[in-house]
């Protein structure tokens, strides 16, 4: 029995995780109070997720990015890529911006008939890991009809993570530091990993 379990583990299929790196190219995304650009923050976090999956998890998951460089990809191409790769999990990375004094982290899920339960579960897993360990204010797991979520929810577990407000001076300076980018990436990766370990 134990041998069989081991064989299952060894030959178990790796899960496919697509990290959607928001914005890119001429689309800078939100611009921070310290001139930090959302498109750069999300790419830095995404690349760090790939690196940590390699060095800490021995490439346990097959992780792909929707972009690896500073290029603009259409929203429909992002979801098409996830479909072509047969993604198990799709995580879209963004930073928030606000005219008012706002701070904290939030995760969005699409309100849909399919994959909603697992998507909320993944959202909570990432949200808890990030807010508890990094001290971001908890803004919650919320529903939204974002295109990338709408176009991926039918075939995989999908969430969109808003990693703090670049319009908030504390969070904008937090996102400038490479050590904080690493911490953020690690918390998101552990959130994904915890979800995959206990997939519903
Ligand atoms: Zn964005």
The per-residue pLDDT for range 84-112, each reduced to its tens digit, is: 999 999 999 999 999 888 999 999 999 98
What percentage of the chain exceeds 90 in pLDDT?
88
Counting Cβ atoms within 10 Å, is residue 195 exposed (0-12), middle (13-18) or buried (19+)? buried
CA of 109 to the centre of ligand 1 (A): 15
CA 150-61-86 angle, 5° bins: 40
What pLDDT sits at residue 1? 52
- What count of Cα atoms within 13 Å lies in the side-chain half-sphere of residue 115? 20
7 has pLDDT over 70: no
* Gap from CA of 30 to ligand 1 centroid (Å): 6
CA 33 to ligand 1 centroid distance, Å: 15
pLDDT category of residue 13 using cuts at 50, 70 and 90: confident
What CA–CA distance (Å, rounded) separates 86 from 104?
Answer: 32
Which CATH architecture is the domain 15-197 placed in? Answer: 3-Layer(aba) Sandwich (3.40)
Reported pTM: 0.93
The residue-averaged pLDDT of 63-86 equals: 98
**Residue 191: which residues within 8 A CB-CB, separation 6 or more?**
122, 125, 126, 127, 128, 129, 130
SS3 state at 122: helix
Instruction: Return the exposure string of 101-117: e unless at least 16 CB atoms fall within 10 Å of the residue's CB, then b.
Output: ebbbbbbbbbebeebbe
For residue 160, the CA-to-ligand 1 centroid distance in Å is 9
Task: Kindly give the distance from the C-alpha atom of residue 83 to the centroid of ligand 1, in angstroms, as a whole number.
Answer: 21
Q: What is the 144 CA–ligand 1 centroid distance (Å)?
A: 14
């Amino acid at each position: 029995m134990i041998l069989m379990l081991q064989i299952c583990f060894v030959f178990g299929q790796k899960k496919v995780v697509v990290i959607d790196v928001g914005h890119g190219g001429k689309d800078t995304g939100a611009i921070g109070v310290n001139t930090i650009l959302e498109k750069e923050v999300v790419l830095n976090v995404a690349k760090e997720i790939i690196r940590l999956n390699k060095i800490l998890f021995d490439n346990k998951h097959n992780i792909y990015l929707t972009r690896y460089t500073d290029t603009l990809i259409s929203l429909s191409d992002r979801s098409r890529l996830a479909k072509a790769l047969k993604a198990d999990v799709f995580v879209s990375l963004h930073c928030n911006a606000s005219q008012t004094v706002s701070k904290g982290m939030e995760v969005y899920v699409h309100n849909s008939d399919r994959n909603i339960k697992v998507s909320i579960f993944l959202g909570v897993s990432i949200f808890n890991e990030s807010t508890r360990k990094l001290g971001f204010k908890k803004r919650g797991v919320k529903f939204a009809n974002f295109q990338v979520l709408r176009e991926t929810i039918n075939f995989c577990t999908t969430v969109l993570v808003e990693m703090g407000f670049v319009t908030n001076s504390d969070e904008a300076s937090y996102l400038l530091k490479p050590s904080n980018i690493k911490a953020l990436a690690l918390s998101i990766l552990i959130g994904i990993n915890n979800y995959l370990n206990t997939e519903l």
